[in-house]
Amino acid sequence: MKHIKFLSLILALIFLQGCTLNSSRYVHFEKSPSKNYYSNKIKDNLMDNKTYSLQVFDTNLYKYFPVDEKDNDILKNFINTLDESAFLDKFEIKNKEVFRLIIKFQEENYIIKIYDNKIATLNPWDGHYSEDIIDMSNLPQIGRAHVWTPVT
């Protein structure tokens, strides 16, 4: 009986060892190859004329709103106004995002999280790299999201 208990303890320790390995690539994001890695992937999809749809997710109402197809140009305008200087290495989150713009291509989906009129982040649903951090403060108004903020 002691041998069975000892053997079961050893087997349990062997099987539980896998839980302690820190090899999950979804928990610890790798550093992106570039600061605008995901933005370039979206730009490539747009240049290849891949079809996509847009949805806005309001984080205050916790509700999705579809974007009319005729307004899909807002994504092209936004992505085309971005240059190298619009991307940051890091930023400090002060508030939760006001809304999210969900971009759905056939093979992949992306999320643009809008925090305020100056900061947005871009990442796919299941990316391996850290998100693109976009500084929108120097962008022309055509490519810039306007976030409504209530007067207090």
Q: Which helix (H) or strand (E) holds 114?
A: strand 109-114
Site of tokens 């041998």: 3
**Cα of 17 vs its chain's centroid, Å:** 32
Q: For residue range 38-51, what is the model confidence (pLDDT) as tens digits?
A: 999 999 999 999 99
Residues 59-101: pLDDT tens digits? 989 999 999 999 999 999 999 999 999 999 988 888 889 999 9
| CB contact set of 62 (below 8 Å; sequence gap of 6+) | none
Q: With 0.75 as the threshold, say if the pTM is over it.
A: no
